[in-house]
């Protein structure tokens, strides 16, 4: 899976339907850096839930 970072938030590429981010030729990467927030729509992480649930 590929990811891109927009405004310090990581999104999947291609972008999921619910996400409002638009890919504008940002650098694509295959790893998730530690110092960015994860988009809840792309990464399926909802507030108050752990990634392991």
Structure-block tokens of residue 5 = 């970072």
pLDDT score of 6 more than 60: yes
Sheet holding 2-6, edge to edge: 2-6, 9-13, 37-38
Tens digits of residue pLDDT in 7-47: 999 999 999 888 999 999 999 999 999 999 999 889 876 66
Characterize the bridge pairing of strands 9-13 and 37-38: parallel
Distance of alpha carbon 50 from alpha carbon 53, whole angstroms: 6
Residue with the two structure tokens 């927009």: 6
pLDDT score of 50 more than 60: no
Domain spans in the chain, listed from the N-terminal domain onward: 2-43
Question: 41: how many CB neighbours lie within 10 A of its CB?
Answer: 17
Residue with the two structure tokens 């994860």: 38
């Amino acid at each position: 899976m590929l990811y891109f970072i927009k405004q310090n938030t990581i999104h999947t590429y291609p972008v999921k339907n619910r996400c409002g981010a638009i890919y504008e030729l940002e650098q694509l990467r295959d790893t998730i850096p530690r110092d960015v927030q994860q988009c809840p729509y792309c990464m399926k992480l909802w507030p108050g839930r752990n990634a392991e649930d």
